[in-house]
Structure 1
Amino acid sequence: MANRRSLPLLDDLKAKAILKQICQEHGISLDLLRNLIEVQRDNLGRGRQFGISQEFSAVISDFIEQQEEAEDAS
Structure 2
Amino acid sequence: MAKRSLPILSDGAAKKILRDLCKQHNVSLELVTQMIEIQRENLGRGRQIGITQDFSAAIAEFLDSASIVRGE
Residue 28 of structure 1: SS of its match in structure 2? Answer: coil
Q: Which residue of 1 aligns with 2:18?
A: 19
5+ residue gaps, structure 2: none
Q: Which residue of 1 aligns with 2:9?
A: 10
Q: Which residue of 1 aligns with 2:34?
A: 35
Residue 5 of structure 2: SS of its match in structure 1? Answer: coil
Q: CA deviation at 1:53?
A: 0.3
Runs of 4+ in 1 over 3 A off after TM superposition: none
Q: Which residue of 1 aligns with 2:69?
A: 70
* Per-residue CA distance 1:21-58 (angstroms, 9 max, x = gap): 10011111110000000000010111110110000000
5+ residue gaps, structure 1: none
Aligned length: 71
Equivalent-residue separation in structure 1 for 2:36 and 2:55 (angstroms): 9
Paired letter, 1:52: I
Q: TM-score, normalised by structure 2?
A: 0.89
Q: Which residue of 2 aligns with 1:47?
A: 46
CA RMSD of aligned residues (A): 1.8
Aligned-pair identity (%): 49
